[in-house]
Structure 1
Amino acid sequence: MYYYVIDSFTETRFGGNPAGVVIHKNLEQDFMQKFAAEVRFSETAFVKRLENDRFEVKFFTPNCQVDLCGHATVAAFKALLDSQLVEDNRAYVIETLAGALSIEVSQSFIVMEQAEPRLGKTFRDYAILSNLFQIDKSQIGDNQFRLLPKASSTGVWDLMLPIKTKDALYSLKPDFDGIAAFAEENHIAGIHAFTLDTTKGVAESRNFCPYYGINEEAATGTSTGALTYYLYKNNVLNDFDHNYVFIQGLSMDRPSTIVTKMVNHNQPKIKVAGKARILSKGELY
Structure 2
Amino acid sequence: MVVNACTRRGGGGSPTAVVSDDGTLTDDDRRAIARRAGTTHSAFIDTSRADTPRVRFFTSAGELTNCGHGTIAAQAVLLHRSGAMDHHGRQRTGGRTFATTATRRPDGIEVWFDQGVIALSDDVDATGGGITAALGLKRTDIAADVRVASSGTPRLLVPVRDRHTLLSMQPDFDRLATECRRRGYLGCFTYALSPTARTGAARMFAPAIGVDEDIANANSVGCLAAHLLDTSGNGAIEIHQGDTLQSPSSVFASATHTADGIVARIGGLVDLGPSIDLR
The TM-score, its normalising length taken from structure 2, stands at: 0.89
Measured in 1, the distance between the counterparts of 2:95 and 2:158 equals: 23
Residues 1-285 of structure 1 correspond to what in structure 2 (within 5 A)? 4-10=1-7, 15-26=12-23, 27-84=25-82, 87-97=84-94, 99-107=96-104, 108-124=109-125, 125-141=127-143, 147-197=144-194, 201-235=198-232, 237-238=233-234, 243-263=236-256, 265-267=258-260, 268-285=262-279
Deviation at 1:165, TM superposition (A): 1.1
CA contact (8 A) 1:139 1:164 kept: yes
Distance 1:40 1:200, change over 3 A: farther
CA contact (8 A) 2:188 2:204 kept: yes
Q: Which runs of 5+ in 1 are unaligned?
A: 142-146
- CA displacement 1:25-69 (0-9 Å, x = unmatched): 223333112221332421100001133321000000110100110
Measured in 2, the distance between the counterparts of 1:121 and 1:65 equals: 27
**Counterpart of 2:181 in structure 1: which amino acid?**
E
Runs of 4+ more than 6 Å apart: none
Q: Which runs of 5+ in 2 are unaligned?
A: none
Structure 2 residue aligned with 1:144: none
Measured in 2, the distance between the counterparts of 1:252 and 1:172 equals: 13
Percent identity of paired positions between Structure 1 and Structure 2: 22
Instruction: Indicate the larger mover: 220-229 or 112-121.
Output: 112-121
Measured in 2, the distance between the counterparts of 1:19 and 1:113 equals: 20
Deviation at 1:94, TM superposition (A): 1.1
- CA displacement 1:127-146 (0-9 Å, x = unmatched): 323311222211112xxxxx
Instruction: Indicate the larger mover: 92-101 or 262-271.
Output: 262-271
CA contact (8 A) 2:37 2:278 kept: no
The TM-score, its normalising length taken from structure 1, stands at: 0.88
Measured in 1, the distance between the counterparts of 2:162 and 2:6 equals: 24
Instruction: Indicate the larger mover: 21-30 or 38-47.
Output: 21-30
Distance 1:197 1:69, change over 3 A: same
Measured in 2, the distance between the counterparts of 1:42 and 1:198 equals: 32
Distance 1:177 1:22, change over 3 A: same
CA contact (8 A) 2:76 2:102 kept: no
Instruction: Indicate the larger mover: 185-194 or 252-261.
Output: 252-261
**Counterpart of 1:217 in structure 2: which amino acid?**
D
**Counterpart of 1:270 in structure 2: which amino acid?**
A
CA contact (8 A) 1:111 1:271 kept: yes
Measured in 1, the distance between the counterparts of 2:226 and 2:213 equals: 22
SS in 1 for 2:117: coil
CA contact (8 A) 2:79 2:86 kept: no
CA contact (8 A) 1:156 1:223 kept: no
CA contact (8 A) 2:251 2:267 kept: yes
Measured in 2, the distance between the counterparts of 1:72 and 1:25 equals: 18
Measured in 1, the distance between the counterparts of 2:245 and 2:142 equals: 22
SS in 2 for 1:215: strand
CA contact (8 A) 2:193 2:200 kept: yes
RMSD: 2.1
**Counterpart of 2:203 in structure 1: which amino acid?**
R
